[in-house]
Structure 1
Amino acid sequence: MATETRVFGIRHHGPGSARSLALALERFRPDAILIEGPSDADPLIGYLAAEGMSPPVALLAYQPDSPAKAAFWPFATFSPEWVALRYATENGVAVGFCDLPATVALAVADEPGDRTDPLAILAAAAGYDDAERWWDAIVESASDADIFGAVNEAMAALREHAEHLDGEGAGQESDSAVPVVGSGTAEEDEPVSVESARITVDAHTLRREAHMRQLMRKALKDGARRLAVVCGAWHAPALEGKLGPAAADARMLKGMPKVKATLTWVPWTHSRLASSSGYGAGITSPGWYHHLFTETEQPIARWLTKVAGTLRAHDLPVSSAHIIESVRLADTLATLRGRPLAGLSEVTEATRSVLCDGDETLLRLVSTELVVGEALGTVPDGTPTVPLEADLRAQIKTLRLKQQALERTVDLDLRTDGGLARSRLLHRLRLLGIGWGRLTDSQVRSTGTFRETWTLRWRPELAISIVEASRWGTTLRSAAEAKILDTAQDPDATVGKVASALEEALLADLGGATDGLIARLESVAALDHDVTHLMSALPGLLRIMRYGDVRGTDTAALTRVADSLLVRSCAGLPGVVTGLDAAAAAALRAQIDAVHLALSARDDEWATGTWLSTLATLADRDDVNGAIVGRAVRLLCDAERINGEESGRRLSAALSVGRTAPDKAAWIDGFLGGRGLLLVHDRNLLSLIDDWLCGLDEGQFVATLPLLRRTFGAFESGERQAIGQAVRHGAPTASATGGADYDTGRGVLAMRATAEILGVMG
């Protein structure tokens, strides 16, 4: 029986190509199929029939000793390659990949491929300015088993004009190159003809095609009588017809570099199939293509119904009448343009006009959620993987978490075993650089509640992060412990950095690393004489001591370290507060606030007394930046170490003659510190500030205004209104003195504007 080989030139991730390929394979009935893909991935084909395999998925190849060096080969439900794989699996047909193995692909990953976009050239010749829309109109909207002959013929015509580049010039363009629409080389998308376009085939592409021919020869030699080859349409002309002698292909492949490679299946997403994600063979509308492939009956009506559902989910008024009119408009546009079925261009215009009322913002919403869409595939549990990922899969299953491509928020109650276990898992992943979850700001650690809020989103590239993290251990716990200990052993690690690592270790329940981190913290703290470093470490340690019981962690060993840091901070603080400029004083003030808040939460009499005694020392000095002194007075007042009368006396002294207006404003800024209720309840303090402010001359007022505006602008709107009401009705005001003439009319306008800003106008 004579052998027959058919080459099916497809477009990667094209639903029309996939449907046409399914029809063609049913008609041809091959006994062997070769598919464009890494030839060393053949052992993984058997997993297609396993339970749990659901596209989109991707073949992942990486170097075991350098996991960051990796490559992906994605497949979607509507990918022709996936259709061929499923056909072979379901019909017992021998199947394999025929492209260069991953061991070679990883070694030459830096070599650029062809910059010719054949679809762009054909689209331009047909009068289209968008290759995607041309292919959508001609191929994807219909199914035809005979279309591959026409596609291969068109590609053969293009390759007759192609220039073959040698190994040194592979992927390079000369100065005379003519840009092609969609090729990525044009500054402006101007259609060009076949005659004017520069069409190139680089050396890497020639080697890939040589390897494909070699495997075709092998398949025929092994007994294949009806061989089907599924490859990108651009390669089809190089594989059709007589294969010729193998010697030339062997010489081309000789000496190609290779590296070690490990291959497996990993989940993928629709958004990562999109060309906007940087995927070279990507498409602009994976969600639309998935719909076209899966919805064979009335696809346009079903699509626009889905669009309406999405808009309704966002509380937008869309009725059945809108859907009917949008379907009619899409069909009418297709008829006017001579197309057999409405494509994405027509349904997009119908969506814009009817469902979105011309609102481009709503149209972008539809594009993001539907046209591109989001779907996360799954792979079988038995898929080859590193032990770390196996541990992660087991924990995800036990804790009933779901890997989803769309962002979702989960609230964890740390008082429950399940919530605590999920929190520890997410903290361990974050320590290992596996960014599945992001802890929402303004939650547990800053407020002291028993809840955590996480935003979860699974991304395909996290598979690489897992492989990279596997060098630290075989389980998430052991790997996180090893990594955090290694980080803390950095010779340049500061007290704050080690303290933060210790806090993260306790949040992640890394008991095996706690003792080592505490010992490291003690040694680093003993050698670090920078008071700011010591103070930066204190709040985190005090948080651990306070909330450790909530997480079931033993924090007794931290007390000795925290007390030591507090004593050293209190001893060194008076020496570092001198000679500070405004920026340095603001930074130190923030650290003082953080330590004071943490000590207040600790509620330890000795620690609080030691700290307040240090603040009292600062409050009595006149050689310290006013922002620091004012803050010390305010904290002592809040702690009831000094009363309101004493606060007023100190404020009066700070505003006395002999100090510059900016110094006085800095003192007030430090004293008030973003909280204005003190002025609302203490009319004496408000009167002192009001008297001082009204007594400023024009130059002093202009110099002081920016800082005072920042101070009062930080108050809540209700506080500002209450202060304004107090000034208007309760607090005495100073009378202006001096011989200057004042414009009463302008003053009234200024006072009225001020009253409106403060919100006290009736």
Structure 2
Amino acid sequence: MSGTHQETFATLRGQLQAAATAFADGPDALEGILLGIVDDVDRAVREPLEIFPVCHHSPASAIAMARRLRHKQPKVVYLELCEDMAPLLGELRNCRLPVAVQAFATEVDGFPTQWSPLSVVAPITEASAEYQAIAYALDTPGVELVLVDRSSDHVFQWDTRGAHATKEKAEADPDAPPVQEEAALHGDAVGVEIGDLRPRFAELEEHLLRHGRVRHWSEWWHQYVELPLGDSDHDTYRQVMLLIGSLLRRLAPGDSPRMRMDEDRERYMWTRMREHLAATGTDPADCLYICGAFHAASPVAEFGVNGTDTFQISPRTATTWQHGLIPSSHAAIEAQFGLAAGSVSIAGTVWEKNLKRARVEPYRLAGQAGAKKPRTRKTAATPAPEVPTSDKLTGFLRQPPVLDRLDEAELLGWSVDIVRAARRNGYLASTADAIAVFETSILLARIRDRAKPTPYDFQDAAVTCIEKDTVPGRRDVRRLVDIMMGGDRIGQVGYDALPPLARDVHDRLTPLNLKLQQRGVQRALLDIAGRSELERCSDVLWMLRYLMPQGAARPIMGERRLGERPIQESWDLALGTHQRALIELGYEGVSIEQVLEQRLRRTAYGTQATAATVLEAIEDATLYLRSRRLADELGTRALEALSAERGVDGAPEVLRRVRRLLGYYRTSEPALPPWIESFVKAGYAHYCTLLPTAFTDDDATADQVAAMLGFLLSMESLALSLGCDRTQLELAIAQSHPTDPAKTALLWAAQTQLGRLTRTELRARCDELLANPLVVPAYPRYLSGFVHALEPAPALTDFVVEAVSNAFGRLPDPVLLPWLPTLISTLRSSGGELAPLLIREAGRIFPSRLAALDEWVPPWRPQPAQEAVPPARHAEARGGCALLATHPETCDTVADLLDCDEAWQATGPSPSGAELIGRHPDTAQALEKLLTGA
């Protein structure tokens, strides 16, 4: 047999040698490359264990695989796929393709922590050779499927370029186009594919694209490999794929890290196959090795069943890997592996056409969602006898290109369909555009030396004829063609293939009566007051909102606050769209409560955790988990974080969260938890120590100093009851000597709150500032400090209103107007607490009617002296006294109400009024109108 193989490619070797001599002026490097390619093909063909080269997501490879499996009926199938993913392949029957097999690790041991989480995915489509092999092996009795590629752990061990190089590059490129939702289904995972056939020599790819008159590699492959191999026999397909793999391999950079990693993968796979053959005693003739064409013609010493056993497989790290299935899509596969947009969809369309034309029955997993029921066979297919392999390369390379006849009906249907789709998406397309697309497709194909327009020619013609200056909708014409050619099929993981956490979420949300696995947004209405069981659904939804990406669970009506119970809620749910995120939660725990607790702990105990972030974790633990145990544990951590802080950056957030937690515990529990009492004591001493430095530190803002004072003054009574000494605060205030106007105003407000400065003295200081021309330009900064002072001293609200009013009345416009944006931004940043205080106090002080403003005198100014009553008012009083004289009891009652003890009597022959009425003429008039009914 060996002699026959040696003579198989003798004719081809002679022709290539003559061509190298003629075109390269001598048999040098070119001859070595061309003859080396033939040697690689000959070596792979002569291997006792049949090597089946494939290209990822290639319909020609899938057709050839289905045909070869039915012909050979191998007993063992070796597949180039991560060996630790084998247990998940059986779950593919519970999914709708395309999906991706995923290995996921959240806690790393042996890798840099910044790489976490680690994720490896291997997408699988129906029009792929690997799916045909998996379906054959799993549904055929007596067939064993063995995955021989490196494990997921070794993927990152050998990744010398960095696990997240792609992610960092995308983050560093602000001009990168936005990633579509369907293209982000794989997240930041590292992709593993079978058969990555693309030139690694940039000049070679450019040369092929230019002379092939195509735009990208996917179009070149479709035109010059996919279509010619679609109807070829097994030997031709196999030798051509080996030839292409050897050519790309020999023209790739030889000493690159990627090439070394590829050679290690080949050593790994052949070592695993020889181990399996030795352990089981299987005849290599009964096996089939499926790998990428790039790896099929390998020069490593470990190649073949008779290769050396010198390769040592390194042990895996201690990282714990979780495995599962996640939904995938054509767009996600194209984005991850650098394929042209729409190429996978076009491949799916070509796959369906090839099945009808070649009449090949593909393999599909029994029970596969969306798959047809397999035909039952009474007897298994009898393998045909093997015949010696002949030279098919010479004939294939010498034959002229196949001139397919133009299918006018198909092209006309495409043209009509694209115009119809364009109209639905807002384009002003007409029948004339359909004719133009039809003729332009034929013209482009002829310009590119093609007898029949390809889908890529049709796509270019549609863009040229229909798309004008702008895109009226959210889809352009190129995207519409992709959808028309098959669309971006999005897979789905079935319920039985979900991890326990995801199944538990679906079970707990069953009372909502929604199809949660369906893609798109669904509205959920929760009448919790009428159906108490929906409160548990509400708890799940709030935890999902916390854990999952934005949009997976979005509340429309309802909120969750400490101490409040929900009554009615409305949610927009898109769990089917974000199925990958829900599945990855299942890798972190068996329930969402466990995952949430782990994340809260990770946040609280992180190296960058501050007192504010720990308090936030405590609030979330109380709000979503209602866990007093976890809150107490994290409270101890909050004390540690506060003691370790040397700055005051987090003071505002600490104050807000401590106030909320104190309010919750005081209303819901009989006594405060020990940790929060300790936190108040420690915070009182901590901020008293930092206060003098913060007043003079330029990096500390007025808002942060105000928050420190708010903590000290608002919690002073609690701190003193717990054993703190007020002398600490008084000494801190006495040692503070700020130079910034805003901080100076804060200090004055604190001194007033402590009783060391009276209101009169504070008002006098402000008057002095306004009277000093040198200080007037800086006066608005003092006012900003007084506004911030409402946080620690809300009792000064009336004084702040007074100070702001005086500023509006006395400051010149060049000083006042530039300050207004600062005032507005201050109130906006603290609008929830400060603005209502000022508005309420201003409404109490200022008159309610505009007409009364002219006569209004502010209460902080001296009131005018009481003027004498005019004669007309005396006359009105006398008229009222005549009536009151006849009703002395009424006048006595009024005198008692006004605390008037003097006796009254009428003077003159007729009642002229009482002494009391003379003092209060307005009261007399009112009583007269009341008694007379006027």
Question: Residue type of the partner of 2:462?
Answer: A
Structure 1, residues 439-483: CA drift from partner, whole Å, max 9, x if none? Answer: 89999479999669789663748766653x34xxx5442454355
Counterpart position of 1:513 = 630
Counterpart position of 1:137 = 223
TM-score between the two structures when normalised by the length of structure 1 = 0.62
In 2, distance between residues paired with 1:409 and 1:580? 55
In 2, distance between residues paired with 1:464 and 1:730? 67
The residue correspondences of 1:187-586 to structure 2 (distance < 5 A) are 203-207=263-267, 210-211=270-271, 214=274, 222=282, 229-237=289-297, 246-248=305-307, 250-252=308-310, 254-259=311-316, 264-270=323-329, 273-277=332-336, 279=337, 284-285=341-342, 288-289=345-346, 292=349, 312=424, 316=426, 324=434, 328=438, 331-332=441-442, 335-336=445-446, 337=448, 338=450, 340-344=452-456, 346-347=458-459, 349-351=461-463, 353-355=465-467, 357=469, 359=471, 362=474, 367=479, 377-379=491-493, 383=497, 389-400=499-510, 421=536, 424-425=539-540, 444=559, 458=578, 460=580, 466-467=586-587, 469-470=588-589, 474-481=590-597, 484-485=600-601, 488=604, 494-511=610-627, 512-521=629-638, 536-544=653-661, 557=672, 561=676, 565=680, 572=688, 575-576=691-692, 579-580=695-696, 584-586=700-702
In 1, distance between residues paired with 2:211 and 2:525? 58
The secondary structure found in structure 2 opposite 1:12 is coil
- Return the offset for 1:632: 10
* Cα 1:262/1:491, change in 2 over 3 Å: closer
User: Does the CA contact (< 8 Å) of 2:442 and 2:452 recur in 1?
Assistant: no
* Cα 1:78/1:224, change in 2 over 3 Å: same
Question: Residue type of the partner of 1:255?
Answer: Q
Question: Residue type of the partner of 1:12?
Answer: H
Give the unaligned 5+ runs of structure 1.
174-199, 600-605, 607-613, 636-643, 720-728, 733-762
Q: Decide which moves more: 349-358 or 365-374.
A: 365-374
In 2, distance between residues paired with 1:267 and 1:340? 38
Counterpart position of 2:131 = 82
In 2, distance between residues paired with 1:355 and 1:17? 35
User: Does the CA contact (< 8 Å) of 1:141 and 1:341 recur in 2?
Assistant: no
* Cα 1:211/1:369, change in 2 over 3 Å: farther
In 1, distance between residues paired with 2:453 and 2:252? 44
- Return the offset for 1:431: 7.5
**Correspondent of 1:48 among 87, 92, 107:** 92
* Cα 1:655/1:462, change in 2 over 3 Å: farther
* Cα 1:146/1:319, change in 2 over 3 Å: same
In 2, distance between residues paired with 1:671 and 1:452? 42
User: Does the CA contact (< 8 Å) of 1:128 and 1:134 recur in 2?
Assistant: yes
**Correspondent of 1:37 among 81, 84, 87:** 81
Matched residues, percent identical? 16
The secondary structure found in structure 1 opposite 2:257 is coil
- Return the offset for 1:505: 0.5
Question: Residue type of the partner of 1:270?
Answer: S
The secondary structure found in structure 2 opposite 1:667 is helix
Counterpart position of 1:660 = 775
The secondary structure found in structure 2 opposite 1:231 is strand
In 2, distance between residues paired with 1:555 and 1:478? 28
* Cα 1:493/1:43, change in 2 over 3 Å: closer
Question: Residue type of the partner of 1:477?
Answer: E
**Correspondent of 1:110 among 154, 159, 165:** 159
User: Does the CA contact (< 8 Å) of 1:60 and 1:72 recur in 2?
Assistant: yes
**Correspondent of 1:689 among 788, 808, 825:** 808
Structure 1, residues 504-528: CA drift from partner, whole Å, max 9, x if none? Answer: 1112215141233345556766898
The secondary structure found in structure 1 opposite 2:100 is strand
User: Does the CA contact (< 8 Å) of 1:531 and 1:568 recur in 2?
Assistant: no
Counterpart position of 2:101 = 59
Please identify the structure whose Cα radius of gyration is greater: 2
User: Does the CA contact (< 8 Å) of 2:437 and 2:458 recur in 1?
Assistant: no
* Cα 1:220/1:131, change in 2 over 3 Å: farther
Question: Residue type of the partner of 2:149?
Answer: L
- Return the offset for 1:432: 7.5
The secondary structure found in structure 2 opposite 1:110 is coil
TM-score between the two structures when normalised by the length of structure 2 = 0.52
User: Does the CA contact (< 8 Å) of 1:412 and 1:453 recur in 2?
Assistant: yes
The secondary structure found in structure 2 opposite 1:584 is coil
* Cα 1:498/1:29, change in 2 over 3 Å: same
- Return the offset for 1:61: 4.0
In 2, distance between residues paired with 1:730 and 1:431? 53
- Return the offset for 1:134: 1.0
* Cα 1:501/1:410, change in 2 over 3 Å: farther
The secondary structure found in structure 2 opposite 1:255 is coil
Counterpart position of 2:403 = none
In 2, distance between residues paired with 1:545 and 1:306? 64
The secondary structure found in structure 2 opposite 1:9 is strand
* Cα 1:436/1:365, change in 2 over 3 Å: farther
In 1, distance between residues paired with 2:82 and 2:255? 24
In 2, distance between residues paired with 1:39 and 1:333? 49
* Cα 1:128/1:71, change in 2 over 3 Å: same
* Cα 1:538/1:424, change in 2 over 3 Å: farther
- Return the offset for 1:12: 0.7
- Return the offset for 1:395: 1.9
* Cα 1:228/1:203, change in 2 over 3 Å: closer
Structure 1, residues 83-116: CA drift from partner, whole Å, max 9, x if none? Answer: 3323454565825245324278447532689995
User: Does the CA contact (< 8 Å) of 1:36 and 1:98 recur in 2?
Assistant: yes
Structure 1, residues 118-142: CA drift from partner, whole Å, max 9, x if none? Answer: 8947556635452122123345578
* Cα 1:218/1:493, change in 2 over 3 Å: closer
Count the aligned residue pairs: 645
User: Does the CA contact (< 8 Å) of 2:150 and 2:269 recur in 1?
Assistant: no
**Alignment root-mean-square deviation, CA:** 6.5
User: Does the CA contact (< 8 Å) of 2:427 and 2:472 recur in 1?
Assistant: no
In 1, distance between residues paired with 2:779 and 2:557? 33
Give the unaligned 5+ runs of structure 2.
1-46, 110-115, 162-195, 357-409, 716-720, 722-728, 751-758, 791-796, 829-834, 836-850, 855-934
Counterpart position of 1:188 = none
Question: Residue type of the partner of 2:812?
Answer: L
Counterpart position of 1:99 = 148
- Return the offset for 1:543: 3.4
- Return the offset for 1:502: 0.6
The residue correspondences of 1:575-724 to structure 2 (distance < 5 A) are 575-576=691-692, 579-580=695-696, 584-588=700-704, 591=707, 625-627=740-742, 654-657=769-772, 660-661=775-776, 663-670=778-785, 688-689=807-808, 691-694=810-813, 708-711=820-823
* Cα 1:399/1:441, change in 2 over 3 Å: closer
Counterpart position of 2:32 = none
User: Does the CA contact (< 8 Å) of 1:665 and 1:707 recur in 2?
Assistant: yes
Structure 1, residues 225-260: CA drift from partner, whole Å, max 9, x if none? Answer: 776554323234459xxx997332x425x3222327
Question: Residue type of the partner of 2:695?
Answer: G
In 2, distance between residues paired with 1:461 and 1:13? 25
Counterpart position of 2:860 = none
